[in-house]
């Protein structure tokens, strides 16, 4: 299971032989010498232990061993399971937490991240009111939800075969009662069987919460391409603005585990009283 590419592995017992008589200083973990893949020289594809642990935890997450919102086993338990030290588990969990897949809570445990939490609600929606006055409650209006064969460009981006089924959703988001965002969304049909406009309308809270709860699809990471465009007739009517008015075009490709694309979204944002915020580091 766990792979260590080096040949000699020693515990520090070698240099501290006069320890209290607690028996043998615990056998070293079940380490297997150089496997990984082909080639037999020194370290052809070195991968640290904590990375291997990270992959194992990731696999359990993906397999649904622990559900979103639930606690994963404690560091001590994981260390015992994987036969490594707590420090190594810690490093693996630290990275997963920094990637927003896990959530650490001191004194309580480590939890599987979820989109249904209030606090992380706007992790993916970067549109922010210019003034607090324009904040107000968010309202989602679903205009359409149909199943169809994926157009070529959609299929390519979602890594589907030409002709595969997709679910197409059109919706408008209202901020403080005014239409601000028009989204067209495409989802792989085989992952979202039974998704209807009604289920979308009935669900309270962000869409990704529904996807996670009802369809077991967890959005982990996304890329966005942003442009300025002029409103067409249809868009102008839906957002109640003038034809030709400048809009922010946001094309988002969302991924789940393993970087597999599972959602394509083309959004048009009215940015007269809102802006897209970003942080550069």
Partner DNA sequence: GAGTGGTCTAGACCACACT
Partner DNA sequence: GTGTGGTCTAGACCACTCC
Q: Which is nearer to DNA, 34 or 267 (CB)?
A: 34
Q: Are 92 and 50 in contact (CB under 8 A)?
A: yes
Helices 86-98 + 75-82 axis angle, to 10: 120
- What is the distance between the alpha carbons of residues 191 and 188, in angstroms, rounded to a whole number? 6
Q: Which is nearer to its own copies, 192 or 208 (CB)?
A: 208
Closest CA to 188 of 224, 161, 222: 161
Site for its own copies in 230-259 (CB under 8 A): 230, 244-249, 252
Q: What are the structure tokens assigned to 82, written together?
A: 């994987």
Q: Count the site residues for DNA by CB under 7 A.
A: 42
Q: Are 110 and 104 in contact (CB under 8 A)?
A: yes
**Binding map of its own copies across residues 91-110, x = CB under 8 A, - = no contact:** -------xxx----------
- The residues near 76 (Cβ < 8 Å, ≥ 6 apart) are 86
Angle at 11 between CA 5 and CA 12, to 5 degrees: 135
- How many residues are there in the chain? 281
- Taken in order 172, 173, 174, 180, is the CA torsion positive or negative? negative
Query: In the set 162, 225, 234, 243, which binds its own copies (CB under 8 A)?
Result: 225
Query: In the set 56, 66, 91, 114, which binds DNA (CB under 7 A)?
Result: 91
CB under 7 A: which stretch of 3-11, 61-69, 200-208, 234-242 binds DNA? 3-11
CB under 8 A: which stretch of 1-9, 41-49, 192-200, 224-232 binds its own copies? 224-232
- Residue 281 binding its own copies, by CB under 8 A: yes
- Residue 50 binding DNA, by CB under 7 A: yes
Reduced to 3 states (helix: H, G, I; strand: E, B; else coil), residue 68 is coil
Query: Residue written as tokens 């989602």?
Result: 140
**Binding map of DNA across residues 63-82, x = CB under 7 A, - = no contact:** ---------x-xxxx-----
Q: Are 231 and 249 in contact (CB under 8 A)?
A: no
- Residue 260 binding its own copies, by CB under 8 A: no
Q: How far is the CB of 148 from its own copies (least distance, A)?
A: 26
Q: Which residues bind DNA (CB under 7 A)?
A: 4-12, 14-15, 22, 25-26, 28-29, 42-43, 46, 48-51, 72, 74-77, 84-88, 90-91, 104-110
Q: Which residues bind its own copies (CB under 8 A)?
A: 16, 18-20, 98-100, 123-124, 126, 221-230, 244-249, 252, 269, 271, 275-281
């Amino acid at each position: 299971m766990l792979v260590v590419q080096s040949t000699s592995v020693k515990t520090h017992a070698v240099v501290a032989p006069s320890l209290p008589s607690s028996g043998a200083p615990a056998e070293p973990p079940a380490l297997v010498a150089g496997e990984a893949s082909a080639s037999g020289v020194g370290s052809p594809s070195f991968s640290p232990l904590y990375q291997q642990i990270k992959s194992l935890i990731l696999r359990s997450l993906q397999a649904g061993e622990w559900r979103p919102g639930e606690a994963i086993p404690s560091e001590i338990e994981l260390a015992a399971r994987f036969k490594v030290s707590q420090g190594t588990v810690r490093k693996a969990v630290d990275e997963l937490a920094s990637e927003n897949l896990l959530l650490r809570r001191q004194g309580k445990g480590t939890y599987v991240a979820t989109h249904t939490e209030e606090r992380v609600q706007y992790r993916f929606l970067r549109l922010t009111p210019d003034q607090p006055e324009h904040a107000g409650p968010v309202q989602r209006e679903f205009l359409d939800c149909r199943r169809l064969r994926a157009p070529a460009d959609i299929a390519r981006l979602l890594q589907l075969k030409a002709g595969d089924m997709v679910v197409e959703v059109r919706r408008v988001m209202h901020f403080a009662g005014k239409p601000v965002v028009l989204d067209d969304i495409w989802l792989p049909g085989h992952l979202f069987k039974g998704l209807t406009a009604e289920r979308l309308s009935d669900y309270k809270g962000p869409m990704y919460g529904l996807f996670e709860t009802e369809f077991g699809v967890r959005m982990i990471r996304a890329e966005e391409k942003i442009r300025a465009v002029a409103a067409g007739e249809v868009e102008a009517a839906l957002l109640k603005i003038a034809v030709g008015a400048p809009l922010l075009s946001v094309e988002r490709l969302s991924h789940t585990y393993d970087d597999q694309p599972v959602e394509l979204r083309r959004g048009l944002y009215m940015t007269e009283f809102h802006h897209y915020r970003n942080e550069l580091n």
